[in-house]
Amino acid sequence: MDEFITACPRNCYSTCTFIVQVSGNRIKRILPFSGNRATPEGPCIKGLSYIERSSSRDRIIYPLIRKKDGTFIRIPSDEALDIISSRLGSIRNRYGSHSILWYRGSGMSGLTNEIGYSFWKAFGGTTITYGNLCWPAGLEAVRLTLGSVKHNVPWDLVNAKTIIIWGKNPAETNVHEIRFIAEARNRGAKVVLIDPVRTPSADKTDMMYSINPGTDAALALAIAKVLIDNGLIDCEFINNHVAGYESFRDSLNITPESAEEITGIPAGDIIKLAFMIGKGGPVTFLPGYGLQRHINGGQTVRSILALAVITGNIGKQGSGFNYANLQSYIFDSVKEPDSYYPDPKNDSPFRRTLSMAKLGQDMMNASDPVLKTAFIERGNPILQSPDSNKVSKAFSSMEFRVVVEQFMTDTAKIADIILPAKNMFEQSDIIGSYWSPYVQFKPKILESPGEVMPESEIYYELSKRLGLVCSENQIPEPGNQNIENWLKERIKGYSDLQLEDLRDGPVIAPGLQEIAYHDFKFETETGKIEIYSQTAYEKWNVSPVPEYVPIKRKDEENNFPLVLITPNASGRIHSQFGNLKVIAENSETPALMISPEDAERRKISDGCRIRIYNESGELFTAVRISNRIPSGAVLLHNGIWMEEGGGGNILISGRETDMGYGSAFHDNMVEIELAD
């Protein structure tokens, strides 16, 4: 049996390293790799499921073309590539290259993803999306305040004396963090969760505050007021490192009493929480991404971050605001979140005119030229974009759709041609992480089955057929050795990074600050932490200080009284993994979760089939009455395939967050009734 060290390239905090035992071109075992200090116990259940996923019989391993009757048949690769290149060429000639939408999701990270850019650039450009479905409101909020987006290494959490998990659910979406939380508790730390829902993470804490969805900023600002009024702030830190404190202080107008009205948390408990934060340092805040998927999301993150700032919990051991740690994202020429933004000069061959959050609507409205073709890789927009009915419609009205996929997803189903996608073991690549501080190498371990080609080879073949001139640097020739050479070229500038070292396990990103901002240098305009941000006002038209902006949910007549929350499920990364047997066997079957009170009011009993609906659409699924859900809210995990009932995006209208061009998933109202 051969053994390799590799890393999980999913859109996930943990980015686990693990050992793969291979024999006969099949993965036999996946074992922990203790050399990664963030994930020494090995990957989560999804990581283990690669044993099944990599050799799943459901995998698409030959190019498929759609017949008139809607079914797919296999065609030879050459033929598929010929059809694609001639269609792309003729569409470009007829309507211009901007009639092509090149859609990329977050399905697999890696440097080789850049190769697509080279291809499409040489092709003449395409229309692409701006914004992101996930986290940019918070990224922008952190960057406006701290100048960059980083935090302490994950294992520093054990030094915290107080941990505030705010809207994050590590027990399901970052299981490796639980080790550090538990160790901190062992050493005497107090751990608090703030979340509308009693998530499994709640049961790893000392206490939870159940907050009304979307009101987090009000709670944070009330806490800030209590902290300031009681002198529980770090004046020295503020004097030395914070710009605009006075404006912030003077803007605070939410008292614990008024916050009680808004958040549902008793004023007395708000004051207690403020004292815990003010007196229980060092404090680490673990904010999640859900709390910023609101139309007030950016300001919410700024409000919570302000608590870390005024109490001096930045740049020190055991403290911090762990939103995202982009210290290993060293290769990007344009850093996130800027890479998500529309091109200010609009001179790139790529036209960023479609908002991720409003994809369907923007696609339909696109004119000059109208969108005619879609080329989709690493993503499942039909399922994962808000307002998915519109998205479906927009894709269906196109002339030609190519989807590169491993499985017959809801998006693959609308393709005219499906090209089989590589999996993570079939091509070498290099990945970073947004939680741990490592750069990792992911070697080629398996030969691709059937006629699977990595995207780099798909692009190579297409560029040849289209007669595009691309250098070896832009699109390497087929063969993994060429990819590894290409990777070597990419990391050449970093003397600490050698491919041979990376083969032996994760390497700390060059220039890492274990304790982020320990030098108290902030890349803001003032060089200080900007709790007051002129840029926030100029760029996003929000108050320069953090502010609570009540969410206006659509429905005036209250026909749809329940807030729909669609977080990630523990067995899935968005819409990935749910199709595997080992995941299904070890997860609860998809169902809408509702509080006992709301269920009773609608005479719904556990396990019934129900209809969820609002003005955007309807969905049918099973219901699970759960004591973990507060009344007034319902929860449906995202990423559930349509054949399992669907994941809720049909009910979600396309709206952007207040900053960063994120998607406000959690601001939708629904009603529920028994399905007959």
Q: Which does 453 bind (CB under 5 to 8 A by kind): ligand SF4, other proteins, none?
A: none
Task: Note whether 43 binds ligand SF4 by CB under 6 A.
Answer: yes
Comparison of 18 and 245: residue with beta carbon closer to other proteins? 18
Retrieve residue 307's tokens.
């608590």
Task: Note whether 8 binds ligand SF4 by CB under 6 A.
Answer: yes
* Binding residue (CB under 8 A) for other proteins from 22, 45, 466, 642: 45
Size of interface with ligand SF4, in residues (CB under 6 A)? 11
Task: Note whether 186 binds other proteins by CB under 8 A.
Answer: yes
Q: Which residues of 34-72 are buried (b: 16+ CB within 10 A; e: fewer)?
A: eebebbeebbbebbbbbbbbbebeebbebbbebeeeeeb
d(CA 493, CA 457): 25
Task: Note whether 283 binds other proteins by CB under 8 A.
Answer: no
Comparison of 33 and 613: residue with beta carbon closer to ligand SF4? 33
Task: Note whether 216 binds other proteins by CB under 8 A.
Answer: no
Task: Note whether 17 binds other proteins by CB under 8 A.
Answer: no
* Binding residue (CB under 8 A) for other proteins from 139, 175, 259, 363: 175
d(CA 14, CA 21): 21
Bridge partner residues of 607 (DSSP): none
Comparison of 16 and 363: residue with beta carbon closer to ligand SF4? 16
Q: Which does 8 bind (CB under 5 to 8 A by kind): other proteins, ligand SF4, none?
A: ligand SF4
d(CA 101, CA 89): 14
Q: What is the DSSP string of 617-662?
A: EEEEEEEEE-TTSPTTEEE--TT--GGGT--SGGG----B-SSTT-
Cis peptide bond prior to 386, omega within 30° of 0: no
Task: Note whether 47 binds ligand SF4 by CB under 6 A.
Answer: yes
Residues 91-150 that bind other proteins (CB under 8 A): none
Task: Note whether 553 binds other proteins by CB under 8 A.
Answer: no
Size of interface with other proteins, in residues (CB under 8 A)? 52
Quote the DSSP letter at residue 573.
B
* Binding residue (CB under 6 A) for ligand SF4 from 4, 10, 395, 619: 10
Task: Pick the piece of the chain touching ligand SF4 (CB under 6 A) from 12-20, 97-105, 393-401, 466-474.
Answer: 12-20
Contact yes or no for 314/529 (Cβ under 8 A): yes
* Binding residue (CB under 6 A) for ligand SF4 from 6, 14, 129, 621: 14
Task: Note whether 432 binds ligand SF4 by CB under 6 A.
Answer: no
Angle of CA points 271, 272, 275, to nearest 5° = 90
* Binding residue (CB under 6 A) for ligand SF4 from 6, 15, 205, 621: 15
User: Which backbone phi and psi does 351 adopt, to 5 degrees?
Assistant: -95, 115
Task: Pick the piece of the chain touching ligand SF4 (CB under 6 A) from 5-13, 196-204, 355-363, 511-519.
Answer: 5-13
* Neighbour tally for 676: CB within 10 Å: 5
Q: Which of these, 441, 485, 438, 473, lies nearest to 330 by C-alpha position? A: 438
Least CB distance to other proteins at residue 218 (A): 15
Q: What is the DSSP string of 325-390?
A: -GGG--S-SS-TTGGGSPPSS--SSSEEEEESTTHHHHHHH--SSPP-EEEEES--HHHHSSSHHH
d(CA 301, CA 289): 9
Comparison of 22 and 512: residue with beta carbon closer to other proteins? 22
Least CB distance to other proteins at residue 579 (A): 15
Q: Which does 369 bind (CB under 5 to 8 A by kind): ligand SF4, other proteins, none?
A: none
Give 498: exposed, middle or buried? Use CB within 10 Å, 0-12, 13-18, 19+: middle
Task: Note whether 578 binds other proteins by CB under 8 A.
Answer: no
- The distance of Cα 184 from the centroid of its chain, to the nearest Å, equals 26
Q: How many residues appear in the chain?
A: 676
Task: Note whether 596 binds other proteins by CB under 8 A.
Answer: yes
Task: Note whether 200 binds other proteins by CB under 8 A.
Answer: yes
Q: Which residues of 197-234 are buried (b: 16+ CB within 10 A; e: fewer)?
A: bbbebbebbeebbbbbbbbbbbbbbbbbbbbbeeebbb
Least CB distance to other proteins at residue 311 (A): 21
Chain residues binding ligand SF4 by CB under 6 A are: 8, 10, 12, 14-16, 43-44, 46-47, 573
Chain residues binding other proteins by CB under 8 A are: 16, 29-32, 39-45, 47-49, 51-52, 171-172, 175-176, 178-179, 182, 185-186, 198, 200, 202-210, 264-266, 269, 570, 582-583, 585-587, 596, 626-628, 630
